[in-house]
Amino acid sequence: MSDRTELRRKPDRTVADRDAIHAVLDEGLVAHVGLIAGNGDTAHPVVIPMLYARDGNVMYLHGSPASRLLRTAKKGAEVCVTVTLLDALVLARSGLNHSMNYRSVIVMGTATEITDREKKVAALNRFVDHTIPGRSAQIRAAHVAEVKATTVLVLPLNECSMKARTTGVVDEPDDLDEPTWAGLIPLGLAIGEPQPDEGSAGDTVPGHVAFWSRGPGQLNGRPADPERTG
Amino acid sequence: MSDRTELRRKPDRTVADRDAIHAVLDEGLVAHVGLIAGNGDTAHPVVIPMLYARDGNVMYLHGSPASRLLRTAKKGAEVCVTVTLLDALVLARSGLNHSMNYRSVIVMGTATEITDREKKVAALNRFVDHTIPGRSAQIRAAHVAEVKATTVLVLPLNECSMKARTTGVVDEPDDLDEPTWAGLIPLGLAIGEPQPDEGSAGDTVPGHVAFWSRGPGQLNGRPADPERTG
Protein backbone atom coordinates (compact mmCIF):
# COMPACT_ATOMS: atom_id res chain seq x y z
CA MET A 1 0.00 0.00 0.00
CA SER A 2 1.34 3.41 -0.96
CA ASP A 3 0.46 6.91 0.15
CA ARG A 4 -1.68 7.31 -2.94
CA THR A 5 -3.87 4.29 -2.27
CA GLU A 6 -4.04 4.82 1.47
CA LEU A 7 -7.63 5.75 1.95
CA ARG A 8 -8.05 9.03 3.72
CA ARG A 9 -11.74 8.83 4.58
CA LYS A 10 -13.37 6.18 6.77
CA PRO A 11 -10.10 4.40 7.59
CA ASP A 12 -12.16 1.79 9.45
CA ARG A 13 -13.21 0.55 6.03
CA THR A 14 -9.65 -0.15 4.90
CA VAL A 15 -8.64 -3.80 4.45
CA ALA A 16 -4.93 -4.49 4.20
CA ASP A 17 -5.07 -8.27 3.75
CA ARG A 18 -3.66 -9.35 0.37
CA ASP A 19 -5.73 -12.54 0.31
CA ALA A 20 -8.90 -10.47 0.76
CA ILE A 21 -7.79 -8.19 -2.12
CA HIS A 22 -7.18 -11.20 -4.36
CA ALA A 23 -10.56 -12.68 -3.40
CA VAL A 24 -12.37 -9.51 -4.51
CA LEU A 25 -10.47 -9.44 -7.81
CA ASP A 26 -11.24 -13.15 -8.34
CA GLU A 27 -14.97 -12.70 -7.66
CA GLY A 28 -15.32 -9.58 -9.81
CA LEU A 29 -16.14 -9.73 -13.52
CA VAL A 30 -15.92 -6.10 -14.65
CA ALA A 31 -13.25 -3.55 -13.74
CA HIS A 32 -13.66 0.19 -14.14
CA VAL A 33 -10.42 1.41 -15.68
CA GLY A 34 -9.56 5.08 -15.31
CA LEU A 35 -6.92 7.08 -17.08
CA ILE A 36 -6.17 10.65 -18.06
CA ALA A 37 -7.09 11.53 -21.63
CA GLY A 38 -5.97 14.73 -23.34
CA ASN A 39 -3.06 16.94 -22.30
CA GLY A 40 -2.60 20.12 -20.31
CA ASP A 41 -5.83 22.13 -20.45
CA THR A 42 -7.69 19.33 -22.21
CA ALA A 43 -6.73 16.67 -19.64
CA HIS A 44 -9.79 14.86 -18.31
CA PRO A 45 -10.45 11.53 -16.64
CA VAL A 46 -12.04 8.66 -18.57
CA VAL A 47 -13.49 5.60 -16.86
CA ILE A 48 -14.27 2.55 -19.01
CA PRO A 49 -15.74 -0.84 -17.97
CA MET A 50 -13.54 -3.77 -19.04
CA LEU A 51 -13.22 -7.48 -18.50
CA TYR A 52 -9.98 -8.33 -16.74
CA ALA A 53 -8.10 -11.25 -15.19
CA ARG A 54 -5.94 -11.70 -12.12
CA ASP A 55 -2.87 -13.94 -12.35
CA GLY A 56 -0.90 -14.17 -9.12
CA ASN A 57 0.31 -10.69 -8.25
CA VAL A 58 -0.62 -9.03 -11.54
CA MET A 59 -3.77 -8.25 -13.46
CA TYR A 60 -4.33 -8.23 -17.22
CA LEU A 61 -6.31 -5.88 -19.43
CA HIS A 62 -6.85 -6.51 -23.12
CA GLY A 63 -8.53 -5.23 -26.23
CA SER A 64 -8.05 -4.07 -29.77
CA PRO A 65 -4.70 -2.44 -30.67
CA ALA A 66 -6.87 0.49 -31.92
CA SER A 67 -8.42 1.08 -28.49
CA ARG A 68 -7.60 4.58 -27.32
CA LEU A 69 -7.49 3.43 -23.71
CA LEU A 70 -5.04 0.61 -24.41
CA ARG A 71 -2.89 2.79 -26.66
CA THR A 72 -2.66 5.43 -23.94
CA ALA A 73 -2.09 2.92 -21.16
CA LYS A 74 0.65 1.00 -22.96
CA LYS A 75 2.66 4.19 -23.41
CA GLY A 76 3.14 4.11 -19.65
CA ALA A 77 0.25 6.32 -18.58
CA GLU A 78 -0.95 5.97 -15.02
CA VAL A 79 -4.10 3.91 -14.70
CA CYS A 80 -6.49 3.30 -11.82
CA VAL A 81 -8.42 0.03 -11.95
CA THR A 82 -11.34 -0.37 -9.56
CA VAL A 83 -13.36 -3.54 -8.95
CA THR A 84 -16.45 -3.23 -6.76
CA LEU A 85 -18.76 -5.93 -5.37
CA LEU A 86 -22.07 -4.75 -3.94
CA ASP A 87 -23.21 -6.95 -1.04
CA ALA A 88 -26.22 -5.20 0.51
CA LEU A 89 -28.28 -2.06 0.73
CA VAL A 90 -28.22 -0.63 4.25
CA LEU A 91 -31.57 0.93 5.23
CA ALA A 92 -31.15 3.12 8.30
CA ARG A 93 -33.70 5.10 10.31
CA SER A 94 -32.40 8.40 8.90
CA GLY A 95 -31.64 9.22 5.28
CA LEU A 96 -27.99 10.09 5.78
CA ASN A 97 -27.20 6.81 7.54
CA HIS A 98 -28.36 4.86 4.51
CA SER A 99 -25.37 3.12 3.00
CA MET A 100 -24.25 0.06 1.11
CA ASN A 101 -22.23 -2.95 2.09
CA TYR A 102 -19.54 -3.51 -0.50
CA ARG A 103 -16.00 -4.67 -1.13
CA SER A 104 -13.89 -2.60 -3.48
CA VAL A 105 -10.29 -2.89 -4.65
CA ILE A 106 -8.35 -0.05 -6.24
CA VAL A 107 -5.17 -0.78 -8.19
CA MET A 108 -2.94 2.08 -9.34
CA GLY A 109 0.16 2.04 -11.47
CA THR A 110 1.40 1.85 -15.02
CA ALA A 111 0.72 -1.05 -17.32
CA THR A 112 3.17 -2.76 -19.66
CA GLU A 113 2.37 -4.49 -22.94
CA ILE A 114 2.97 -8.23 -23.17
CA THR A 115 4.70 -8.92 -26.48
CA ASP A 116 6.11 -12.41 -25.87
CA ARG A 117 3.79 -14.74 -27.76
CA GLU A 118 3.76 -17.53 -25.18
CA LYS A 119 3.11 -15.16 -22.28
CA LYS A 120 0.39 -13.44 -24.30
CA VAL A 121 -1.39 -16.74 -25.01
CA ALA A 122 -1.19 -17.67 -21.32
CA ALA A 123 -2.66 -14.28 -20.38
CA LEU A 124 -5.48 -14.66 -22.91
CA ASN A 125 -6.32 -18.05 -21.41
CA ARG A 126 -6.39 -16.46 -17.96
CA PHE A 127 -9.02 -13.98 -19.22
CA VAL A 128 -11.28 -16.83 -20.28
CA ASP A 129 -10.69 -18.80 -17.08
CA HIS A 130 -11.06 -15.77 -14.82
CA THR A 131 -14.56 -15.20 -16.15
CA ILE A 132 -15.50 -18.85 -16.67
CA PRO A 133 -13.26 -21.24 -14.71
CA GLY A 134 -12.32 -24.30 -16.75
CA ARG A 135 -13.41 -22.75 -20.05
CA SER A 136 -10.01 -22.41 -21.77
CA ALA A 137 -9.59 -26.22 -21.81
CA GLN A 138 -12.90 -26.54 -23.71
CA ILE A 139 -12.10 -24.25 -26.66
CA ARG A 140 -9.62 -24.30 -29.51
CA ALA A 141 -6.25 -22.59 -29.19
CA ALA A 142 -6.05 -18.98 -30.36
CA HIS A 143 -4.82 -18.54 -33.94
CA VAL A 144 -1.55 -16.68 -34.51
CA ALA A 145 -3.41 -13.81 -36.23
CA GLU A 146 -5.87 -13.51 -33.33
CA VAL A 147 -3.05 -13.19 -30.81
CA LYS A 148 -1.34 -10.58 -33.00
CA ALA A 149 -4.59 -8.61 -33.32
CA THR A 150 -4.99 -8.27 -29.56
CA THR A 151 -3.19 -5.97 -27.17
CA VAL A 152 -2.61 -7.40 -23.70
CA LEU A 153 -1.40 -5.21 -20.84
CA VAL A 154 -0.13 -6.34 -17.46
CA LEU A 155 -0.50 -4.24 -14.33
CA PRO A 156 1.30 -5.23 -11.11
CA LEU A 157 -0.80 -5.45 -7.95
CA ASN A 158 1.87 -3.63 -5.94
CA GLU A 159 -0.01 -0.42 -5.34
CA CYS A 160 -3.45 -1.56 -4.38
CA SER A 161 -5.89 -1.14 -1.55
CA MET A 162 -9.24 -2.45 -0.45
CA LYS A 163 -12.17 -0.79 1.22
CA ALA A 164 -15.19 -2.64 2.57
CA ARG A 165 -18.32 -2.02 4.59
CA THR A 166 -19.61 -5.28 6.03
CA THR A 167 -21.56 -4.35 9.16
CA GLY A 168 -25.23 -3.80 9.90
CA VAL A 169 -27.23 -0.60 10.29
CA VAL A 170 -25.51 2.22 12.18
CA ASP A 171 -28.06 4.70 13.49
CA GLU A 172 -27.99 7.72 15.80
CA PRO A 173 -29.02 6.68 19.35
CA ASP A 174 -31.88 9.21 19.20
CA ASP A 175 -33.32 7.48 16.14
CA LEU A 176 -33.64 3.98 17.54
CA ASP A 177 -37.31 4.49 18.45
CA GLU A 178 -38.24 5.75 14.97
CA PRO A 179 -41.23 3.79 13.60
CA THR A 180 -39.27 2.84 10.48
CA TRP A 181 -38.18 -0.58 9.27
CA ALA A 182 -34.37 -0.68 9.30
CA GLY A 183 -32.10 -3.44 8.11
CA LEU A 184 -30.22 -4.89 5.16
CA ILE A 185 -31.34 -5.99 1.72
CA PRO A 186 -28.62 -8.51 0.71
CA LEU A 187 -27.54 -8.33 -2.93
CA GLY A 188 -25.55 -10.63 -5.17
CA LEU A 189 -25.33 -11.91 -8.72
CA ALA A 190 -28.44 -13.59 -10.17
CA ILE A 191 -27.66 -16.24 -12.78
CA GLY A 192 -30.17 -17.15 -15.47
CA GLU A 193 -30.56 -20.42 -17.36
CA PRO A 194 -27.80 -20.77 -19.97
CA GLN A 195 -29.08 -19.93 -23.47
CA PRO A 196 -27.34 -22.06 -26.12
CA ASP A 197 -26.35 -20.41 -29.38
CA GLU A 198 -28.00 -21.83 -32.48
CA GLY A 199 -26.08 -24.90 -33.56
CA SER A 200 -24.26 -25.18 -30.25
CA ALA A 201 -22.66 -28.62 -29.96
CA GLY A 202 -24.71 -31.27 -28.17
CA ASP A 203 -27.81 -31.08 -26.02
CA THR A 204 -26.00 -31.23 -22.70
CA VAL A 205 -24.89 -28.06 -20.99
CA PRO A 206 -21.35 -28.79 -19.76
CA GLY A 207 -20.57 -28.45 -16.07
CA HIS A 208 -18.42 -25.34 -16.40
CA VAL A 209 -21.51 -23.59 -17.82
CA ALA A 210 -24.32 -25.32 -15.88
CA PHE A 211 -22.61 -24.77 -12.53
CA TRP A 212 -21.05 -21.40 -13.28
CA SER A 213 -21.42 -19.30 -10.15
CA ARG A 214 -19.93 -16.31 -8.40
CA GLY A 215 -20.27 -15.07 -4.86
CA PRO A 216 -22.57 -16.53 -2.21
CA GLY A 217 -24.69 -19.37 -3.63
CA GLN A 218 -27.61 -18.79 -1.26
CA LEU A 219 -28.35 -15.51 -3.03
CA ASN A 220 -28.39 -16.76 -6.60
CA GLY A 221 -29.78 -20.18 -5.72
CA ARG A 222 -26.67 -22.08 -6.76
CA PRO A 223 -24.51 -24.35 -4.64
CA ALA A 224 -21.43 -22.44 -3.50
CA ASP A 225 -19.05 -25.23 -4.49
CA PRO A 226 -20.70 -27.48 -7.07
CA GLU A 227 -19.19 -30.73 -8.19
CA ARG A 228 -17.97 -29.99 -11.67
CA THR A 229 -18.79 -32.31 -14.54
CA GLY A 230 -16.72 -30.67 -17.28
CA MET B 1 -23.02 13.85 -27.08
CA SER B 2 -19.68 15.63 -27.48
CA ASP B 3 -16.48 14.68 -29.27
CA ARG B 4 -15.07 13.49 -25.99
CA THR B 5 -17.83 11.01 -25.23
CA GLU B 6 -18.25 9.87 -28.81
CA LEU B 7 -17.04 6.34 -28.62
CA ARG B 8 -14.24 5.66 -31.01
CA ARG B 9 -14.17 1.88 -30.86
CA LYS B 10 -17.05 -0.43 -31.79
CA PRO B 11 -19.38 2.38 -32.89
CA ASP B 12 -22.10 -0.27 -33.39
CA ARG B 13 -22.29 -0.43 -29.60
CA THR B 14 -23.13 3.26 -29.24
CA VAL B 15 -26.65 4.14 -28.06
CA ALA B 16 -27.73 7.74 -28.57
CA ASP B 17 -31.24 7.52 -27.08
CA ARG B 18 -31.60 9.72 -24.00
CA ASP B 19 -34.38 7.55 -22.53
CA ALA B 20 -32.11 4.53 -22.74
CA ILE B 21 -29.34 6.49 -20.99
CA HIS B 22 -31.75 7.53 -18.21
CA ALA B 23 -32.98 3.94 -17.86
CA VAL B 24 -29.43 2.68 -17.25
CA LEU B 25 -28.78 5.41 -14.68
CA ASP B 26 -32.10 4.61 -12.97
CA GLU B 27 -31.38 0.88 -12.80
CA GLY B 28 -27.81 1.30 -11.58
CA LEU B 29 -26.91 1.51 -7.88
CA VAL B 30 -23.18 2.25 -7.89
CA ALA B 31 -21.30 4.70 -10.09
CA HIS B 32 -17.55 4.63 -10.63
CA VAL B 33 -16.40 8.23 -10.34
CA GLY B 34 -13.08 9.16 -11.91
CA LEU B 35 -11.05 12.29 -11.47
CA ILE B 36 -7.47 13.47 -11.75
CA ALA B 37 -5.62 13.62 -8.44
CA GLY B 38 -2.28 15.35 -8.01
CA ASN B 39 -0.80 17.98 -10.31
CA GLY B 40 1.70 18.06 -13.15
CA ASP B 41 4.08 15.14 -12.76
CA THR B 42 2.08 13.66 -9.89
CA ALA B 43 -1.23 13.73 -11.80
CA HIS B 44 -2.91 10.33 -11.77
CA PRO B 45 -6.45 9.03 -12.24
CA VAL B 46 -8.51 7.89 -9.25
CA VAL B 47 -11.69 5.83 -9.63
CA ILE B 48 -14.01 5.50 -6.62
CA PRO B 49 -17.33 3.62 -6.27
CA MET B 50 -20.14 5.85 -5.03
CA LEU B 51 -23.89 5.81 -4.59
CA TYR B 52 -25.57 8.39 -6.80
CA ALA B 53 -28.99 9.59 -7.91
CA ARG B 54 -30.45 10.81 -11.17
CA ASP B 55 -32.95 13.70 -11.12
CA GLY B 56 -34.22 14.70 -14.54
CA ASN B 57 -31.26 15.80 -16.60
CA VAL B 58 -28.71 15.92 -13.77
CA MET B 59 -27.08 13.46 -11.42
CA TYR B 60 -26.06 13.95 -7.80
CA LEU B 61 -23.00 12.78 -5.89
CA HIS B 62 -22.63 13.25 -2.16
CA GLY B 63 -20.41 12.54 0.80
CA SER B 64 -18.48 14.04 3.66
CA PRO B 65 -17.12 17.58 3.22
CA ALA B 66 -13.73 16.01 4.10
CA SER B 67 -13.81 13.62 1.14
CA ARG B 68 -10.84 14.31 -1.12
CA LEU B 69 -12.85 13.35 -4.18
CA LEU B 70 -15.69 15.73 -3.38
CA ARG B 71 -13.31 18.54 -2.41
CA THR B 72 -11.49 18.15 -5.72
CA ALA B 73 -14.67 17.81 -7.77
CA LYS B 74 -16.41 20.82 -6.25
CA LYS B 75 -13.49 23.05 -7.20
CA GLY B 76 -14.57 22.48 -10.79
CA ALA B 77 -12.33 19.54 -11.67
CA GLU B 78 -13.42 17.39 -14.58
CA VAL B 79 -15.07 14.16 -13.52
CA CYS B 80 -16.06 11.05 -15.44
CA VAL B 81 -18.92 9.05 -13.93
CA THR B 82 -19.52 5.57 -15.33
CA VAL B 83 -22.46 3.28 -14.51
CA THR B 84 -22.32 -0.27 -15.87
CA LEU B 85 -24.95 -3.01 -15.84
CA LEU B 86 -23.76 -6.52 -16.68
CA ASP B 87 -26.44 -8.54 -18.49
CA ALA B 88 -24.77 -11.74 -19.65
CA LEU B 89 -21.54 -13.60 -20.21
CA VAL B 90 -21.05 -14.44 -23.88
CA LEU B 91 -19.36 -17.82 -24.40
CA ALA B 92 -18.07 -18.14 -27.95
CA ARG B 93 -16.33 -21.03 -29.71
CA SER B 94 -12.98 -19.19 -29.62
CA GLY B 95 -11.40 -17.44 -26.69
CA LEU B 96 -11.16 -14.02 -28.28
CA ASN B 97 -14.84 -13.92 -29.22
CA HIS B 98 -15.82 -14.32 -25.60
CA SER B 99 -17.50 -11.14 -24.46
CA MET B 100 -20.11 -9.72 -22.14
CA ASN B 101 -23.50 -8.21 -22.73
CA TYR B 102 -23.73 -4.96 -20.84
CA ARG B 103 -25.14 -1.45 -20.81
CA SER B 104 -22.84 1.33 -19.73
CA VAL B 105 -23.30 5.08 -19.45
CA ILE B 106 -20.42 7.55 -19.24
CA VAL B 107 -21.05 11.10 -18.01
CA MET B 108 -18.31 13.71 -18.29
CA GLY B 109 -18.20 17.27 -17.08
CA THR B 110 -17.67 19.41 -14.04
CA ALA B 111 -19.81 19.22 -10.93
CA THR B 112 -21.17 22.12 -8.89
CA GLU B 113 -21.90 22.16 -5.17
CA ILE B 114 -25.51 22.60 -4.08
CA THR B 115 -25.58 25.10 -1.23
CA ASP B 116 -29.26 26.11 -1.20
CA ARG B 117 -30.73 24.25 1.78
CA GLU B 118 -34.05 23.35 0.15
CA LYS B 119 -32.42 22.06 -3.03
CA LYS B 120 -29.92 20.12 -0.94
CA VAL B 121 -32.68 18.42 1.07
CA ALA B 122 -34.50 17.55 -2.16
CA ALA B 123 -31.30 16.08 -3.61
CA LEU B 124 -30.68 14.04 -0.45
CA ASN B 125 -34.20 12.63 -0.70
CA ARG B 126 -33.51 11.71 -4.33
CA PHE B 127 -30.50 9.67 -3.18
CA VAL B 128 -32.67 7.63 -0.86
CA ASP B 129 -35.44 7.21 -3.44
CA HIS B 130 -33.04 6.42 -6.29
CA THR B 131 -31.71 3.45 -4.34
CA ILE B 132 -34.98 2.47 -2.59
CA PRO B 133 -38.04 3.96 -4.33
CA GLY B 134 -40.59 5.24 -1.82
CA ARG B 135 -38.15 5.18 1.09
CA SER B 136 -37.82 8.94 1.76
CA ALA B 137 -41.53 9.13 2.73
CA GLN B 138 -40.93 6.45 5.40
CA ILE B 139 -38.12 8.16 7.30
CA ARG B 140 -37.77 11.30 9.37
CA ALA B 141 -36.63 14.54 7.76
CA ALA B 142 -32.90 15.26 7.82
CA HIS B 143 -31.73 17.45 10.71
CA VAL B 144 -30.22 20.85 9.93
CA ALA B 145 -26.81 19.69 11.19
CA GLU B 146 -26.92 16.57 9.01
CA VAL B 147 -27.60 18.61 5.89
CA LYS B 148 -24.76 20.98 6.78
CA ALA B 149 -22.39 18.07 7.33
CA THR B 150 -22.96 16.67 3.85
CA THR B 151 -21.57 17.89 0.55
CA VAL B 152 -23.88 17.41 -2.43
CA LEU B 153 -22.63 17.92 -5.97
CA VAL B 154 -24.72 18.15 -9.12
CA LEU B 155 -23.44 17.06 -12.53
CA PRO B 156 -25.42 17.84 -15.70
CA LEU B 157 -26.14 14.96 -18.05
CA ASN B 158 -25.23 17.08 -21.08
CA GLU B 159 -22.07 15.29 -22.04
CA CYS B 160 -22.98 11.65 -21.79
CA SER B 161 -22.96 8.56 -23.91
CA MET B 162 -24.05 4.97 -23.74
CA LYS B 163 -22.51 1.81 -25.02
CA ALA B 164 -24.23 -1.57 -25.02
CA ARG B 165 -23.75 -5.09 -26.28
CA THR B 166 -27.06 -6.92 -26.42
CA THR B 167 -26.67 -9.59 -29.09
CA GLY B 168 -25.86 -13.29 -29.02
CA VAL B 169 -22.63 -15.13 -29.75
CA VAL B 170 -20.61 -13.84 -32.71
CA ASP B 171 -18.23 -16.50 -33.98
CA GLU B 172 -15.92 -16.90 -36.96
CA PRO B 173 -17.66 -18.93 -39.70
CA ASP B 174 -14.84 -21.48 -39.55
CA ASP B 175 -15.53 -22.12 -35.88
CA LEU B 176 -19.21 -23.01 -36.12
CA ASP B 177 -18.47 -26.75 -36.19
CA GLU B 178 -16.28 -26.61 -33.09
CA PRO B 179 -17.43 -29.22 -30.53
CA THR B 180 -17.84 -26.54 -27.86
CA TRP B 181 -20.96 -25.36 -26.09
CA ALA B 182 -21.56 -21.72 -27.03
CA GLY B 183 -24.21 -19.38 -25.74
CA LEU B 184 -25.10 -16.84 -23.08
CA ILE B 185 -25.17 -17.04 -19.29
CA PRO B 186 -27.69 -14.30 -18.34
CA LEU B 187 -26.74 -12.25 -15.28
CA GLY B 188 -28.67 -9.87 -13.07
CA LEU B 189 -29.04 -8.75 -9.48
CA ALA B 190 -29.89 -11.42 -6.90
CA ILE B 191 -31.88 -10.11 -3.93
CA GLY B 192 -31.79 -11.85 -0.56
CA GLU B 193 -34.40 -11.87 2.19
CA PRO B 194 -34.43 -8.54 4.02
CA GLN B 195 -32.58 -8.78 7.36
CA PRO B 196 -34.20 -6.50 9.97
CA ASP B 197 -31.93 -4.56 12.31
CA GLU B 198 -32.28 -5.40 15.99
CA GLY B 199 -35.21 -3.42 17.36
CA SER B 200 -36.55 -2.59 13.91
CA ALA B 201 -40.13 -1.33 14.21
CA GLY B 202 -42.84 -3.93 13.79
CA ASP B 203 -42.78 -7.49 12.45
CA THR B 204 -44.00 -6.64 8.98
CA VAL B 205 -41.54 -5.87 6.25
CA PRO B 206 -42.99 -2.85 4.43
CA GLY B 207 -43.70 -3.09 0.71
CA HIS B 208 -40.89 -0.76 -0.36
CA VAL B 209 -38.47 -3.25 1.24
CA ALA B 210 -40.26 -6.57 0.61
CA PHE B 211 -40.79 -5.80 -3.08
CA TRP B 212 -37.55 -3.93 -3.69
CA SER B 213 -36.28 -5.01 -7.08
CA ARG B 214 -34.03 -3.87 -9.90
CA GLY B 215 -33.69 -5.09 -13.45
CA PRO B 216 -35.44 -8.12 -14.93
CA GLY B 217 -37.57 -9.92 -12.32
CA GLN B 218 -37.23 -13.32 -13.96
CA LEU B 219 -33.55 -13.38 -13.03
CA ASN B 220 -33.87 -12.50 -9.36
CA GLY B 221 -37.20 -14.27 -8.91
CA ARG B 222 -39.15 -11.11 -8.16
CA PRO B 223 -42.15 -9.72 -10.01
CA ALA B 224 -41.01 -6.93 -12.33
CA ASP B 225 -43.76 -4.55 -11.22
CA PRO B 226 -45.06 -5.55 -7.79
CA GLU B 227 -48.09 -3.97 -6.23
CA ARG B 228 -46.65 -1.83 -3.49
CA THR B 229 -48.03 -2.02 0.05
CA GLY B 230 -46.00 0.78 1.62
CA distance B135 to chain A (A): 9
Selecting from B49, B128, B189 the residue whose C-beta is nearest the C-beta of A98 gives B128
d(CA B74, CA A188) in angstroms, rounded, equals 33
Residue B22: is its pLDDT beyond 80?
yes
Average of pLDDT values for A69-84?
Answer: 91
The region of weakest confidence among B1-5, B59-63, B186-190, B204-208 is: B1-5
Q: What integer best gives the mean pLDDT of chain A?
A: 89
d(CA A228, CA A211) in angstroms, rounded, equals 7
Is the CB of B218 inside 8 Å of chain A's CB atoms?
yes
Q: Give the SS3 label for residue A204.
A: coil
End-to-end CA distance of chain A: 39
Average of pLDDT values for A44-49?
Answer: 96
d(CA B88, CA B101) in angstroms, rounded, equals 5
Task: Give the mutation candidate from A14, A60, A103, A181 for the B interface (greatest B CB count, under 10 A).
Answer: A181
Average of pLDDT values for B98-119?
Answer: 96
Contacts of A89 in chain B (CB under 8 A): 29, 131-132, 212
Average of pLDDT values for A158-181?
Answer: 93
Closest chain B residue to A126 measured between Cα atoms? B95
Q: Are A152 and A114 in contact (CB under 8 A)?
A: yes
The confidence score (pLDDT) of residue A224 equals 56
Closest chain B residue to A148 measured between Cα atoms? B96
Contacts of A78 in chain B (CB under 8 A): 43-45
Is the CB of B144 inside 8 Å of chain A's CB atoms?
no
The confidence score (pLDDT) of residue A1 equals 41
Q: What is the CA radius of gyration of chain B?
A: 21
Share of chain B above pLDDT 70, in %: 89
CA distance B166 to chain A (A): 13
Higher pLDDT, B104 or A227: B104
Residue A14: is its pLDDT beyond 90?
no
Residue B228: is its pLDDT beyond 60?
no
Residue A10: is its pLDDT beyond 70?
no
The confidence score (pLDDT) of residue A218 equals 81
Q: Which class is domain A11-167?
A: mainly beta
pLDDT band at A216; cut points 50, 70, 90: confident
The confidence score (pLDDT) of residue B123 equals 97
Cβ distance A96 to B146 less than 8 Å, yes or no, reads yes
Write the pLDDT tens digit of every residue in B157-202. Answer: 999 999 999 999 999 999 999 989 999 999 999 999 999 998 886 6
Write the pLDDT tens digit of every residue in A85-139. Answer: 999 999 999 999 999 999 999 999 999 999 999 999 999 999 999 999 999 999 9
Residues 6+ apart with CB under 8 A from B33: A47, B47, B48, B49, B50, B52, B61, B69, B73, B79, B80, B81
End-to-end CA distance of chain B: 39
Contacts of A139 in chain B (CB under 8 A): 92-95, 178, 180
d(CA A178, CA A181) in angstroms, rounded, equals 9
The confidence score (pLDDT) of residue A7 equals 47
Cβ distance A192 to B188 less than 8 Å, yes or no, reads yes
d(CA A67, CA A69) in angstroms, rounded, equals 5
Higher pLDDT, B11 or B145: B145
Selecting from B78, B95, B182 the residue whose C-beta is nearest the C-beta of A197 gives B182
What phi, psi does A209 have (nearest 5°)? -95, -50
User: Which A residues, 60 through 119, put their C-beta within 8 Å of a C-beta on chain B?
Assistant: 63-64, 66-68, 78-82, 84, 86, 88-89, 91-96, 98-100, 102, 104, 106, 108
Residue A12: is its pLDDT beyond 70?
no
Is the CB of B125 inside 8 Å of chain A's CB atoms?
yes
